Amino acid sequence: MGTIEFDVALINGKLIYDGKVTLPIEYDGFAKTLVTPGFADAHAHPQVIDVGEKRRYKNSYDWIKRRKLRIDEKAIREDPDISSRLAAATMLLSVFDGVTLIALTGSVQGNVLALRSIYVHPRVVLQPTILDRKGWLSPQEFLYVMQSFLVESRNVYVGLFLHSLGLASLDTVRTTIRIAKEKDLIMAMHLSEGVYESQTMRELAAMNDFDAKSQLVVVHCFTEPSNCKMLFRGVVSCPTSNMYLYGRTIRSPSNYDALGSDWPLVTGTLRTALSQAHAVSGRRTLDVLINATVGGYRIYGVDWAGDALIFDSDLAKVLESPAEKPKYVFLEGREVIREGTINGSFDYRYAEKMKENVIKQAFEKYPVR
Ligand SMILES: [Zn+2]
């Protein structure tokens, strides 16, 4: 246990000024800003390193159809070395930024290998992506992956991710729902990203006897946020990618439950999404902070005891700038970042370098001409 005096603290979604608190962490002392639990990134694609040119797309399907990628995404997902180094860089950069929980979609093999290759990472919700396209998992393959990898690791939780209604056959949707039900897993999916899909999804859930209100997390939903809030377990907003692709996002924090970085290696970790969400929220600082911390833990049902961040800077700066790194990060009470470093030996610049190297190599190896 440790006793922390602070100027300001966000503790389990409450803001407290000039106080003292005892927490189950290895730290005694002072914090200008204390945040507990830390930040939760409720949606991230660690293998995405190119997103196409900036222009106004109508919706997610329009983007996937018209974008011109400079890199072969499928080849990256299938390359265990590159996809795992991308995931490792994502997790390290995130932890240096104070992200203590991250939900990872994309290459399950890459994400699992990454977890085995680094010894410091946030709590992770693994969300293998199910999609009817070559190079992605089918539901049957997902079951195989679950059984073979299943996750004795500490702080790793299994979920599953259906890419989207438009890119999955009815049969795949049904099977994904069935697996979520049978294995009692939280299912997540992209929904209502420039299109109206909430009613269809509600009906599909009802037809398959699936309690979407308690088991389905939906991502984006800027087209109809209040319907999504009402019908499903949780709404994850990704303001950074939404603004980039469509010039719009959910502004009111009452209309979503958690924040996602979406493309952490392209546009930055959850901290960029947090700054952006705050900027468009109309000064609803506390509500945005709740969504960026406990919100993500709640929708995935993850425990947060002993997760905490200690900043040397004031809260306004933390909100404004992702460059404002926590001095200490605690996970389950253990100190994982001390004085901005892991083990005193490397800091976030090491993770930056790692990211630059692997991205450079990926572009050299799998260019699209
Ligand atoms: Zn996404």
In CATH, what number is assigned to the domain containing residue 271? 3.20.20.140
User: In this structure, is residue 160 part of a structural domain?
Assistant: yes
Categorize the per-residue pLDDT at 129 as very low, low, confident or very high, splitting at 50, 70 and 90: confident
Categorize the per-residue pLDDT at 116 as very low, low, confident or very high, splitting at 50, 70 and 90: confident
Distance 77 CA to ligand 1 centre (A): 15
What is the average pLDDT across 139-146?
71
What is the average pLDDT across 251-280?
97
pLDDT surpasses 70 at 310: yes
What is the average pLDDT across 248-271?
97
Question: What is the predicted pLDDT for the residue at 148?
Answer: 64
117 contacts 89 by C-beta, under 8 angstroms: no
Q: Give whole-number Cα distances, 162 to 173, 186, 213, in Å.
A: 7, 11, 16
Distance 147 CA to ligand 1 centre (A): 25
Distance 48 CA to ligand 1 centre (A): 10
Top pLDDT among 182 and 204 is at 204
Question: What is the predicted pLDDT for the residue at 172?
Answer: 87
Distance 34 CA to ligand 1 centre (A): 30
Distance 195 CA to ligand 1 centre (A): 15
Domain containing 251: what range? 39-298
User: In this structure, is residue 333 part of a structural domain?
Assistant: no
User: In this structure, is residue 359 part of a structural domain?
Assistant: no
Here the tokens at position 125 are 């919700």
User: In this structure, is residue 224 part of a structural domain?
Assistant: yes
Distance 76 CA to ligand 1 centre (A): 17
pLDDT surpasses 60 at 151: no
User: In this structure, is residue 187 part of a structural domain?
Assistant: yes
Distance 331 CA to ligand 1 centre (A): 26
Q: Give whole-number Cα distances, 48 to 83, 250, 268, 277, 334, in Å.
A: 9, 23, 12, 21, 30
Distance 280 CA to ligand 1 centre (A): 20
pLDDT surpasses 70 at 136: no
Question: What is the predicted pLDDT for the residue at 45?
Answer: 97
Distance 188 CA to ligand 1 centre (A): 10
pLDDT surpasses 90 at 105: yes
Question: What is the predicted pLDDT for the residue at 203?
Answer: 97
Distance 52 CA to ligand 1 centre (A): 14
Domain total for the chain?
1
Helical H segments across 36-195, by residue range: 60-66, 73-78, 80-96, 108-117, 139-149, 170-183
Q: What percent of the chain has pLDDT over 70?
A: 96
Distance 6 CA to ligand 1 centre (A): 36
Distance 333 CA to ligand 1 centre (A): 31
Distance 189 CA to ligand 1 centre (A): 8
User: In this structure, is residue 174 part of a structural domain?
Assistant: yes
User: In this structure, is residue 149 part of a structural domain?
Assistant: yes
Distance 332 CA to ligand 1 centre (A): 28
Distance 248 CA to ligand 1 centre (A): 16
Q: What is the mean pLDDT of the chain?
A: 93
pLDDT in tens, 197-246: 999 999 999 999 999 999 999 999 999 999 999 999 999 999 999 999 99
pLDDT in tens, 331-353: 999 999 999 999 888 999 999 99
pLDDT surpasses 70 at 175: yes
CA atoms within 13 A on the CB side of 308: 28
pLDDT surpasses 70 at 135: no
User: In this structure, is residue 130 part of a structural domain?
Assistant: yes
Distance 287 CA to ligand 1 centre (A): 23
- Dihedral sign of CA atoms 346, 352, 357, 362 in order: positive
pLDDT surpasses 80 at 364: yes
Question: What is the predicted pLDDT for the residue at 239?
Answer: 98
Distance 163 CA to ligand 1 centre (A): 8
